[in-house]
Amino acid sequence: MEARDYPNFFTRIGITDEEVRARVQACFDTIFFDPEENFYHPVDADSACMIDTGNIDARTEGMSYGMMMAVQMDRQDIFDRLWTFSMRYMHLDAGPHAGYFAWSTNLEGRHNAEGPAPDGEEYFAMALFMADARWGSGEGWYDYAHWARDILRHALHQPELAEGGQPMWNPSNHLIKFVPEMETSDPSYHLPHFYEWFAKLADEADRPFWAEAARASRAYIALCAHPVTGLSPEYAAYDGSPVLFFRKPWAFYSDAYRVGMNIALDCLWNGRSPALCAVATRLQDFFADKREEDYKAYDLDGRAWDEPAMHPVAITATCAAATIASDSPTAEAWLRRFWELPLRKGNRRYYDNCLYFFSLLMLAGMYRPWVDAD
């Protein structure tokens, strides 16, 4: 099992390990158990879901995020309840998407959509590999390693496994798609730090693909980011140019906030990459003189639209996480600013607080792979 120690970055502003661990636990408890502010929702005696509180649904994004939180915090009981809901209500057994997961259901498990969102599948797979390493696999749905490999097998080989199916990764350029049927990507879906582990733990025949996917994703993240602001588009063509969906005329918006956080975790687990560190540095510099109440939707060159950011806490959290990779003189100020920022309250708290928790966890030195390739 991966046992490497990671630093507590908050010591740079005088915050002790004990204080950081207490903050991490308090945030976890709020997300899962606070009677007013949690978004963990028991459904059956053995299942639960994570509520997107802005849309009042359960999404594979949130389900897999919740499983990742649970395995990081050594809560197998929560992990299994979330995974049970995912398999019982979201897993698709027929049609071109068989083997994938319906990306959205209502809180009782009825499908709002019949197609997948690949960021859910990649988080599911990584969380399941970690669960196998931390707790050992069981039987049926709880054979964690089996299901992790099954998810990744479908992600690459869907055309052979389901009639009319499409893979989640482009087989030629090794880049993840926004949805399987579209030759368009989402820079925030790119998780090279996960692919490095998939290259050791997935089906043996697919391991070279995942190793190349890690390399390709690092190059793609750098390609998509603006050379001055560091801003990335929510959706992008394979050449890195922005693609505008959902009638939004701006490029930098909610999905894209995750890019800085993803760069940070890749640097934490795999070492610094000059190109990605430059993106993290530019992001921190761009937002350094802005505050949560002033954040907007942006073009990649930094031009602000008259549209407030929907998730301002997430921007601050992920910019702070970028300290792990950044060379900006503002890096320590970001740590202090994040430490003083509370979790978001209200109906949009789900996305902000997920990114808040992951950013806090990695800055605390507590976000670990928990896997062993031997």
Q: How far apart (Å, rounded) are the C-alpha atoms in residues 359 and 325?
A: 13
Sheet (strand 40-44) strand order: 40-44, 47-52, 57-59, 104-105
| Catalytic-residue membership of 255 | yes
Residue 109: other Cβ atoms inside 10 A = 17
Q: How far apart (Å, rounded) are the C-alpha atoms in residues 260 and 320?
A: 9
Give the single-character DSSP code of 254.
G
The amino acid at residue 145 is: A
Q: How far apart (Å, rounded) are the C-alpha atoms in residues 223 and 244?
A: 17
Give the single-character DSSP code of 209.
H
Q: Which of 61, 119, 132, 186 is labelled catalytic?
A: 61
Written as six digits, the tokens of 260 are 């800085």
Using DSSP's 3-state secondary structure scheme, residue 63 falls into helix
What region does 311 belong to: left with phi over 0, alpha with psi -120 to 50, or beta? beta
Q: How far apart (Å, rounded) are the C-alpha atoms in residues 198 and 370?
A: 13
Tokens 């430490």 found at? 339
Tokens 């990507």 found at? 185
| Catalytic-residue membership of 293 | no
Q: Which of 119, 255, 266, 285 is labelled catalytic?
A: 255
- Active site residues per annotation: 61, 255
